[in-house]
Amino acid sequence: MTVTIIGIGLIGGSLGITLKENGFATRVIGVDASQENLHKAIRRRLIDEEMSLAEGVAVADVIVLATPVDAMLKLLPEILDRVNTYQTIVDVGSTKELMLNKIDGHANRNRFVACHPMAGTEFSGPEAALPELFAGKMCVIVDGEQSAPDALDTARRLFKSAGMNLSRLDRKAHDLHCAYVSHISHIASFALALTVLEKEKDEQRIFDLASSGFGSTVRLAKSSPDMWVPIFRQNRDHVLDVLDEHIEQLSKFRTLLIKRDFDGFYERIERANQIEKILK
């Protein structure tokens, strides 16, 4: 199968090398606005060759849209205009509602399968790509009943070949749950990094003392604004809602500290500990 990947960053590049290595793809074509990314991707064998968008779409059995989500809004309708009924398009974006609203009613809508492989690291670009990135992680297929059965089947086989478990949600539920579980974690981590950078002017001190948990809590604060700002823009209302709740939860800890109510503090930590049962 010929797979054309549009956007050869962390996710696109990782999918390229994964699908080639596991045999799902016989040929991986890369399309990217950055010539430098394409060169890096070829050198690292993430893709076999580069093409223009038009060429890459024309020769593909499967087209993977792996740009930041703002570019997807623009590219997806253009790609849908070009595909025939033998081709499948999947995306890998973290927000779905706006994009799916935009293509409702498109003549080729059913060639597209909205997918969200929930894998990643705090790094970005083809140099961060990893063949094992997806193994054991969850891929959510969104509004799958609006895709043609063969396109849906191709998308499922693609992500299963990468070792992913599959789940299904509709567009609204997807964006809401991702705001809760993923997007707020990133804002919390950005804010924590800024808190420490603001309060602790001594950089060597941060480095020396950071072993005790700070590193993991703040890991996501290294994430790229080019990827994340479009996500926050598209999922703004849900993110705002969860952010309000998060500020409220922090304010409750603050009130307990002010009142020196350490029994209340203890109870809230015990409640937070319940996350352990869920996470494993």
Q: Per-residue contact track with its own copies, 212 to 251, x per CB under 8 A?
A: xxxxxxxxxxxxxx--xx--xx--x--xxxxxxxxx-xxx
Scan for tokens 């191709």, then name that residue: 154
**107 vs 270, which CB is nearer to its own copies?**
270
74 binds its own copies (CB under 8 A): no
14 binds its own copies (CB under 8 A): no
Rounded to an integer, what distance in angstroms lies between the CA atom of residue 134 and that of residue 155? Answer: 14
Q: How far is the CB of 247 from its own copies (least distance, A)?
A: 5
Least distance CB 140 / its own copies (angstroms): 7
Rounded CA separation 207/59 (Å)? 50
Q: Which residue has the tokens 């500020």?
A: 247
Q: Which is nearer to its own copies, 85 or 216 (CB)?
A: 216
Residues that contact its own copies, how many (by CB under 8 A): 91
Rounded CA-CA distance 9/33 in Å is 11
**Complex with its own copies: residue 50 or 175, whichever CB lies closer:** 175
Please answer whether residues 112 and 149 qualify as being in contact, where contact means their C-beta atoms are separated by less than 8 angstroms. Answer: no
Rounded to whole angstroms, how far apart are CA atoms 50 and 41? 9
Q: Is 210 in the site for its own copies (CB under 8 A)?
A: yes
Minimum separation from the CB atom of position 241 to its own copies (A): 8
Sheet containing strand 27-31, strands side by side = 49-50, 27-31, 2-6, 62-65, 88-91, 112-117, 138-142, 165-169
The answer to whether 76 and 65 have CB atoms below 8 angstroms apart is yes
Q: Which amino acid is at 227?
A: M
Residues 103-132 that bind its own copies (CB under 8 A): 118-120, 122
Which of residues 71, 130, 138, 148 is near its own copies by CB under 8 A?
Answer: 138
155 binds its own copies (CB under 8 A): no
Closest distance between its own copies and the C-beta of residue 128, in Å? 13
